[in-house]
Structure 1
């Protein structure tokens, strides 16, 4: 096979790594359906508001994610990409086991700690998996393999929602098994990663073992003609050495870097504070409030993950054809429109039962517009707004912002629902309109522009 193709060892390495992203999707979607059973478990074993403790159980996942992101960067630089991912998978097994055995031990604390640990595991994966996949992939397949991460998230999300229906594991007896299934991707990764290669880039540039890097790269590419790629890595390293390294403090203090940093932060906030995780975490609750029976609401929730999966595929060719700015505006505008229509449907279904169906349809369309742009653009935009020297610090700030906003939405949605009832999505609508206006006036189009051209915009 000629170099640069999708060889067996390359496909194996990518599959092993993206199990971490599948884990992330699974644990985002899995908590949705069994809410009533988990609240009953909390009520039976703890003298506190079950709604509040369920909110803590949901949102502590994001606290773990905020720890996992920087931990991944630190550990990957010291232990290598492969060993860091392997250690994280073992950590995921522990978190899944704690959640699975929490009911048997009648311990709400075990459930919350397990959810926190699996959050660290997933936050780690959102940094480690894209880095590893990017570094083992040939240049011409890097974009395609990069989208595999998003597809794995969508597959995990749908899987968690399907398994949560009442005829499978969405029951008072089944929910601990449902949460314990996080053992499967973590366990599979523990078994697969020892046979996956280390990143050739890490071997060459961090360990300085060119012979080993060449051996691994030849196996990944299926050819010994790898001199060009080795030379490109050396050239990239020389360019990095010549460019000043910026810390997070430098990004804030330097005017030419501060504006793109603010843009990147707002893009990440728009992804979360537009309310998407309110739907991903609580869609079953939303559909019940729209008049559906609980079993039907769980079935409808599967559609949420399915729409995200389809849109992950649809958005791939659109990204380079229509551009980041256009897709982000389209996504935010559509989400704002359908959050209003969802609110109308939720408040009129009692007088018109057809509106229950419309509430579900409008929710699906809201999720579809999220998939158009806001789903993936915040994760890529910081890499396109910053040069090599500042990119790592900027991406770290973006990831932390994203997980923090995720935590806020998870913690506040149930109290907001208690306060606002079926008008709960209106605060998200207001924020979406503000994010739309900010994007319109501030976000430059990065399509077909080099890093130098983009950074020059902010130096004027």
Structure 2
């Protein structure tokens, strides 16, 4: 079990780079708009949004290397993409070059949301799968917190402080690459590629050699399904996991979480806080996110996925409604930060802890990467569109209208959890496949 925990933690560090890469741009947001004298539309869609479109492509195509070259090798290349993006973004001398290197980092983010949860879910025992896959989400929020802290510490380094903000990600990228080299490939992936002896060796290292025949039997059956012509996630029999993955990802982004993380400093300044106070409040957001993600990781295999989603949905509705009211009624001071702390807590214990666990569980082995890719693509298409629109929407309809829209969407999420979402706690991946496939 020790090997499984160590390998899971190492693979989940892709989430750290994901979180850092996603949020580090928030510290450079207004600096870059002033530097390049960009309009709100250009700044939102190109300078800020290009990484998210890279993430979309990474999510769409990330399932291909995850299936073809393996979970481990894909995770290794993800680290290379992050390293290349960090160095290139730091030395960019115009918005188009900057956007191109941010796009490369986005490819790494999108692919990581497929490869890391797939790898961890395949090596983890059913009883611990929730918390081990949730380590990925924990590392995302740890990366977010470190990025907020890094931005605050580097903010006073002169007119080129944004270059330091973007470039510092090269350090964890190199460390991640070195650690990934030390882990073994997923035994389920090895069996799916008929590398039986290597799979047995890895299972022996994991202390699960006794499960070899049982897992092999299920994978062999799955391989037979995979050999069928045109067997894809879009067939009628896979409709249930497909719809579940779509709705989970859809509601995740319609909470406004990525829009908030990308523009946290701007939102706090819209609420009347100064730049320094806004950056400090962003660090507070990172701390709350980390603490409640830890709570979610602790509870996900105890209470189950649905209970956490109930808690998160109710928290979303309350907190987003309060944020909207604060903007409508011009509540000043720390009202907006406090309400947004509640929003982040609701996200961390609910959607944040559950999404990548849940989507990695509900598809059969031979379609897991494809299903993960579909859910991830849905997530990132919306994550690209919504934050790109935020500067324009804030300057036209105003923040209050934007946040009340997000609150209404979370009412629909609550209905989804109540009437459609199954509980997956403690059930083997193979058993879940049987339950969710309509033969």
What is the match of residue 429 of structure 1?
A: 407
- TM-score, normalised via structure 1 length: 0.84
Instruction: State whether residues 20 and 125 of structure 1, in contact with CA within 8 Å, keep that contact through their aligned partners in structure 2.
Output: yes
Distance across 1 between alignment mates of 2:274 and 2:147: 20
Distance across 2 between alignment mates of 1:227 and 1:459: 31
Matched, 1:42 2:36: yes
> Structure 1 stretches of 5 or more lacking a match?
none
What is the match of residue 91 of structure 2?
A: 101
Q: Describe the shift of the 1:59–1:127 C-alpha distance in structure 2 as closer, same or farther (beyond 3 A).
A: same
Distance across 2 between alignment mates of 1:381 and 1:11: 19
What is the match of residue 114 of structure 2?
A: 127
* Selected match of 1:295 from 276, 295, 301: 276
* Selected match of 2:15 from 21, 36, 49: 21
The aligned runs of 1:379-398 (5 Å cut-off) are 379-388=356-365, 391-398=368-375
Q: Indicate the SS of the match to 1:356.
A: coil
Matched, 1:150 2:131: no
What is the match of residue 357 of structure 1?
A: 334
* Selected match of 1:405 from 376, 382, 387: 382
Instruction: State whether residues 315 and 372 of structure 1, in contact with CA within 8 Å, keep that contact through their aligned partners in structure 2.
Output: yes
Instruction: Report the CA distance between 1:12 and its aligned residue.
Output: 5.1
Q: Indicate the SS of the match to 1:228.
A: helix
What is the match of residue 278 of structure 1?
A: 259
Distance across 2 between alignment mates of 1:375 and 1:433: 17
What is the match of residue 75 of structure 2?
A: 85
* Selected match of 1:61 from 48, 51, 63: 51
* Selected match of 2:24 from 26, 30, 36: 30
Instruction: Report the CA distance between 1:253 and its aligned residue.
Output: 5.2
Query: Any idea what the Cα deviations from partners look like across 1:82-111, whole Å, max 9, x if unmatched?
Result: 333222322222211110101xxx221111
Q: Indicate the SS of the match to 1:32.
A: helix
Q: Describe the shift of the 1:169–1:199 C-alpha distance in structure 2 as closer, same or farther (beyond 3 A).
A: farther
What is the match of residue 149 of structure 2?
A: 162
Instruction: State whether residues 133 and 357 of structure 2, in contact with CA within 8 Å, keep that contact through their aligned partners in structure 1.
Output: no
Return 321-330 or 176-185, whichever deviates more.
321-330
Q: Describe the shift of the 1:457–1:343 C-alpha distance in structure 2 as closer, same or farther (beyond 3 A).
A: same
* Selected match of 1:6 from 2, 5, 10: 2
Instruction: State whether residues 61 and 373 of structure 2, in contact with CA within 8 Å, keep that contact through their aligned partners in structure 1.
Output: no
Query: Any idea what the Cα deviations from partners look like across 1:335-390, whole Å, max 9, x if unmatched?
Result: 122111112223444xx6xx421211101001111122122333333455555565
Q: Describe the shift of the 1:56–1:313 C-alpha distance in structure 2 as closer, same or farther (beyond 3 A).
A: same
Distance across 1 between alignment mates of 2:310 and 2:227: 32
* Selected match of 1:238 from 216, 220, 224: 220
Distance across 2 between alignment mates of 1:195 and 1:457: 35
Distance across 1 between alignment mates of 2:94 and 2:177: 27
Return 26-35 or 361-370, whichever deviates more.
26-35
Q: Indicate the SS of the match to 2:33.
A: helix
Instruction: State whether residues 131 and 301 of structure 2, in contact with CA within 8 Å, keep that contact through their aligned partners in structure 1.
Output: no
Q: CA RMSD in A?
A: 3.0
Distance across 1 between alignment mates of 2:322 and 2:230: 40
Q: Describe the shift of the 1:215–1:291 C-alpha distance in structure 2 as closer, same or farther (beyond 3 A).
A: same
> Structure 2 stretches of 5 or more lacking a match?
none
Q: Indicate the SS of the match to 1:65.
A: helix
Q: Indicate the SS of the match to 2:62.
A: helix
Distance across 2 between alignment mates of 1:368 and 1:333: 11
Q: Indicate the SS of the match to 1:443.
A: coil
Distance across 2 between alignment mates of 1:382 and 1:246: 23
Return 161-170 or 280-289, whichever deviates more.
161-170
Q: Higher Cα Rg: structure 1 or 2?
A: 1
Q: Describe the shift of the 1:459–1:125 C-alpha distance in structure 2 as closer, same or farther (beyond 3 A).
A: closer
Distance across 2 between alignment mates of 1:282 and 1:183: 23
Q: Describe the shift of the 1:79–1:383 C-alpha distance in structure 2 as closer, same or farther (beyond 3 A).
A: closer
Instruction: State whether residues 385 and 455 of structure 1, in contact with CA within 8 Å, keep that contact through their aligned partners in structure 2.
Output: no
Distance across 2 between alignment mates of 1:101 and 1:292: 31
What is the match of residue 211 of structure 2?
A: 229
Matched, 1:178 2:147: no
Q: Describe the shift of the 1:76–1:111 C-alpha distance in structure 2 as closer, same or farther (beyond 3 A).
A: same
Distance across 2 between alignment mates of 1:446 and 1:179: 39
Q: Describe the shift of the 1:25–1:444 C-alpha distance in structure 2 as closer, same or farther (beyond 3 A).
A: same
Q: Indicate the SS of the match to 2:97.
A: helix
Query: Any idea what the Cα deviations from partners look like across 1:270-297, whole Å, max 9, x if unmatched?
Result: 1001111121111111111111111001
Instruction: State whether residues 113 and 356 of structure 2, in contact with CA within 8 Å, keep that contact through their aligned partners in structure 1.
Output: no
What is the match of residue 52 of structure 1?
A: 42
Q: Describe the shift of the 1:190–1:382 C-alpha distance in structure 2 as closer, same or farther (beyond 3 A).
A: closer
Q: Describe the shift of the 1:112–1:244 C-alpha distance in structure 2 as closer, same or farther (beyond 3 A).
A: closer
Distance across 2 between alignment mates of 1:453 and 1:86: 29
Instruction: Report the CA distance between 1:15 and its aligned residue.
Output: 4.3
Distance across 2 between alignment mates of 1:386 and 1:264: 9
